[in-house]
Amino acid sequence: MKLYLLLCTHLPVWASVMGKREEIIEAAKALLWEKGYEATSPRDIQAMSNAGQGSFYHHFPSKQELARVAIEEVVRERIGDFEEAMLLGGRLKDRVLTFMAQNDQPLQGCRVGRLVWDSAIQEEELRLPLDWYFRHLEERLIEIMKAEQATRKVKLNMPAAQIALVIMSVIQGSFAVSRAMKRSRAEDARAALLAFLDVAITDR
C-alpha cells in the first residue's frame, strides 16, 4: 500500500483517474504543447504516461496516429472553450478577450497554433484538425458579428470577415511574440486588440 501511494505521488494528476489509453493521450497533449510534434518522441510520451512500449503500441500503431487523436482532442477542447466564452453575457469585445485570456501560459503558445510550424503537420491527417479549429473560429466570429449587427446590438465599421481575421491573427501573434521574446505580451496584445475592436465595432 505504501509503495502504491508513493508511485501515485509521482504521476500526473490525471493519471490516477484514467485508463492507460487516456493517460497516453493526455501525455501526448501535454508534450505537444510543451515541445511540439517533432521534438516529442514515443519514449517521452511513455515516460510521462508511465506506459511501457508494448502498452503504447497496443493502443496506437504509430506516433502520428497518437498525435492525430491528441490534436483532435485539443481542438475539441479549445472549440468548447471558445463557445463557452461566446455564451457569456456582455459585449462581443469582452467575450473575445475572455477567450484570449484563457491561456495562462502564453510563453508556451497556443495549444493548437504552435503545432502549425512543425513540418510533419503538412501530413493531411495532422493538418486537418488544425484547419477545422481555425475555420470554426473564423466562421463563428463572422456569424456572431453579423447576427449582432442584424439585431442592432452593434454596428460593424468594416467587413465581419476582416475583423474575424484580425482577431485570430492578434491572438496567435501574441503567443508567437511572447515565445520569441521570452516574456508575456498577452496583456499588451489584449489592449491592442480592444483598441482595434473599439474602432471596428460600435456598440449600440
Residue range of the domain that includes 99: 71-204
> Nearest 5°: phi and psi at 12?
-55, 155
Q: Are residues 57 and 75 both part of a single domain?
A: no
pTM of the model: 0.85
Grid coordinates standing for 31? 508534450
Q: At which of 40, 61, 82 does a domain end?
A: 61
Q: Are residues 114 and 92 both part of a single domain?
A: yes
Q: For residue 66, is it within any domain? A: no
Q: Are residues 10 and 85 both part of a single domain?
A: no
Greater pLDDT, 126 or 8: 126
pLDDT at 3 over 60: no
Mean pLDDT confidence for 100-112: 90
Q: Are residues 92 and 34 both part of a single domain?
A: no
Q: Are residues 83 and 141 both part of a single domain?
A: yes
Number of domains into which the chain is organized: 2
- Mean pLDDT score across all residues of the chain: 91
Q: At which of 16, 37, 61 does a domain end?
A: 61
CB within 8 Å of 113: residues ≥ 6 apart: 171, 172, 175, 176
CA–CA separation, 172 and 150 (whole Å): 29
Q: pLDDT confidence of 7, banded at 50, 70, 90?
A: very low
For residue 93, the number of C-alpha atoms closer than 13 Å in the C-beta half-sphere is: 19
| pLDDT tens-digit readout, 117-146 | 888 888 999 999 999 999 999 999 999 999
Q: Are residues 51 and 94 both part of a single domain?
A: no
CA–CA separation, 197 and 123 (whole Å): 35
| pLDDT tens-digit readout, 37-65 | 999 999 999 999 999 999 999 999 999 99
For residue 177, the number of C-alpha atoms closer than 13 Å in the C-beta half-sphere is: 12
